[in-house]
A and B are shown apart, each in its own frame.
Chain A
Amino acid sequence: MVFYTSLIWEYMKNYIKTKLTYRADFWVEVLSDLLFQATNLIFILVIFQHTDSLGGWSEAEVVFVYGYFMIPYGIFMSFINLWGFSERYIVKGEMDRVLTRPAHSLFQVILENIDPPSIIGSFVGAVILGICWVQLDIPFGIVELLVLIVMVIGSVMIYTGVYTALTAISFFSDAPTGILPLMFNIQGYGRYPITIYNRLIQVVLTWIAPFAFVGVYPASYFLDQEITKSFALLTPVMGIVFLTGGILFWNYGVRKYRGAGS
């Protein structure tokens, strides 16, 4: 564990060394990230100009969920960036290099693609969450803070598990699959009150692609929403289950890795 933590720091240092030389690039990335989030937020605000409640949820509550969502999402985006995996590691064969090094292959791949600017989204999310927290007059103490941290960790684990498993599909098929963008779209649904969807979508968002655990479920722990509150505490459990599953599937995939070219 100490070993892996020190590696994170080493890779971070190198990231900073390479990326900070292109300062403009860095700010453009931060800015486009934030703009992307802003459009989503504006969408929520527009909806609430037409209605007072969405499935029994007030504007402040929905924005609260959104603010919560941004925190794990920002962490996930800055640490787990597997978009180019198939292209770079499978097709170009860089997995060969990774596999000749004495650290877990997934960990190495993650570290090589680290993207810290995205973390700024988390801070913005925390600010939004804080504003709504005050508006909704939710009590805040050490217990709430700890629960929030556990929830965020659980949510990040779910994301990581799901995307690790999906990325590991590349080990079996050379062709890039369209499933990643699809997932990316689905994950947006987790930000809204789950009760507004029909039964099937609820099941999918809870058990299959459990993106409701990266948004509405954990956030509702702090809100007055009885239906979903009971699910909130499942967040860390689902996190452990999905992350373990994702890593196991990855390990299985590595054994099926075929290498590229000569």
Chain B
Amino acid sequence: MLAIDVKDLRKEFNVQKNREGVKGAMLDLFRREYTKVRAVKDISFQIPKGEICGYIGENGAGKSTTIKMLTGILVPTSGDIRVNGFVPYQEREKFVRGIGVVFGQRSQLWWDIGVIESFQLLRKVYRVPEAEFKKRLDELVERLQLQDLLNRPVRKLSLGQRMRCELVASLLHNPSIVFLDEPTIGLDIVVKTEIREFLKQMNQRYETTILLTTHDLQDIEALCSRVIMLDDGRIIYDGGLDELKAKWGKGREVHFQFAAPFQLEQLQFLTAGLEVAWSIENEYTAKVWIPLEVNVSDVLSRVVGTTEITDIKIIETNTDDIVREIYKSGSAEESKLHLLGEEKVSNV
């Protein structure tokens, strides 16, 4: 069953043009000029129930706009959305009872009252029966260790504490889909890890579908089986994280530290026939760049057998690098070409 089904989704905003200077301001007073800005450009994707999907892209790529359309906050300009079987903006009140939303930059809780009172209020708003609420709250509170925070007003919480409470608030009514817009923004590594663990566990236990946007790719690596990458309102990649790495990873780099001084020609001679590129740092250390088509073990076996080595380090291209490359070029396809071009250069 599909949790989210989006087809040709589009959102346009009218943005007011401000003309320059006092004269321009006067003109604006009488006749405003608007430019249409298309924030989301006919995107389509489907997310099956129980999946954790990462939604990434640069600032202003259209992530938040999409999330807002999926949660019923914004009405799309055109296209079809079905979330949980509902068209979000049409039956908003009924629809939102089945979803949970966390905006990392904005609090869902009431600022002045105690955390537990916010929860109680939400219980009423979502019409959760008392017994069910209690069971759920106990479970969440214990899992996220909020016992000591419950009676404090939200404004007195640290960001990490607040975010954990936000998570609980969004889950009290046991939603089947959870939207998280930058849930780990500004958090320290301990809290981040804790939240990731928690989300993962919740997904496994309740089959909760999770769609999260983030700038921290560690979140994606820890949680998501799938990523949708957005650039300038279009989807430029939709698929598994491993595939993304495999397809667009530049290859691997192996660092060697030798016991005795060596020469570049020696090393090149050893790996003759393999498409690898050597470079030296100093007399004792060298790096070899190995494209994905070549096995690392092949290279290693040739070098290790003939030279005395004190240390070896294998470095994989990390996701950050790949994603940065793709953002820079604007398309996953183009970026592949770009990277291939670079490979050739480094091989010469």
Contact = CB atoms under 8 A, between A and B. Distances in A.
Interface of A: 3, 6-7, 10-11, 14, 17-18, 93-97, 99-104, 255-259, 261-262
A18 B112 contact: yes
B125 A102 contact: yes
A18 B112 CA distance: 6
10 contacts: A10-B124, A14-B113, A99-B71, A100-B71, A100-B96, A102-B125, A103-B125, A259-B64, A261-B105, A262-B64
Contacts of A93: 106
Given A99-B71, A257-B74, 6 more contacts: A96-B73, A97-B103, A100-B73, A102-B125, A256-B75, A259-B64
B249 interface: no
A97 B179 CA distance: 13
Interface stretch (B45-53, B86-94, B227-235, B315-323): B86-94
A220 B93 CA distance: 42
Nearest to B122: A101
A14 B93 contact: no
Interface of B: 13, 59, 64-65, 68, 71-75, 89, 92-94, 96-97, 99, 101, 103, 105-108, 110, 112-113, 117, 120-121, 124-127
State the main secondary structure of chain B at its contact with A: mixed
Given A3-B127, A10-B120, A258-B13, A99 B97 contact: no
A255 B73 contact: no
Nearest to B60: A262
Which 8 A-B pairs give the minimum distances between C-beta atoms? A18-B112, A100-B101, A102-B97, A99-B73, A102-B93, A10-B124, A262-B64, A102-B96
A255 B126 CA distance: 22
Contacts, number: 68
Contact of A17 (B59, B101, B113, B125): B113
A97 B122 CA distance: 12
Contacts of A103: 93, 125
Contacts of B107: 97
Contact of A259 (B73, B93, B99): B73
Contact of B103 (A3, A96, A104): A96
Nearest to A11: B121
Contacts of A18: 112-113
Given A14-B117, A255-B75, A104 B124 contact: no
A250 to B, nearest CB: 13
A7 B124 contact: yes
Contact of A99 (B65, B72, B126): B72
Residue from the set B89, B106, B127 with the largest chain A CB neighbour count within 10 Å: B106
Contacts of A11: 121
A100 B99 contact: yes
B121 A258 contact: no
Contacts of B71: 99-100
B10 to A, nearest CB: 15
A150 B125 CA distance: 30
A213 B65 CA distance: 43
B74 A259 contact: yes
Nearest to B108: A97
B116 to A, nearest CB: 11
Nearest to B101: A100
B261 to A, nearest CB: 55
B126 A102 contact: yes
A258 B73 CA distance: 9
A96 B69 CA distance: 11
Contacts of A102: 93-94, 96-97, 125-127
Nearest to A94: B106
A171 to B, nearest CB: 11
Nearest to A97: B108
A3 B97 CA distance: 14
A17 B114 CA distance: 10
A222 to B, nearest CB: 40
Contacts of B89: 255
Contacts of B127: 3, 102
Contacts of A257: 73-74
Nearest to B102: A100
A14 B106 CA distance: 21
A94 to B, nearest CB: 7
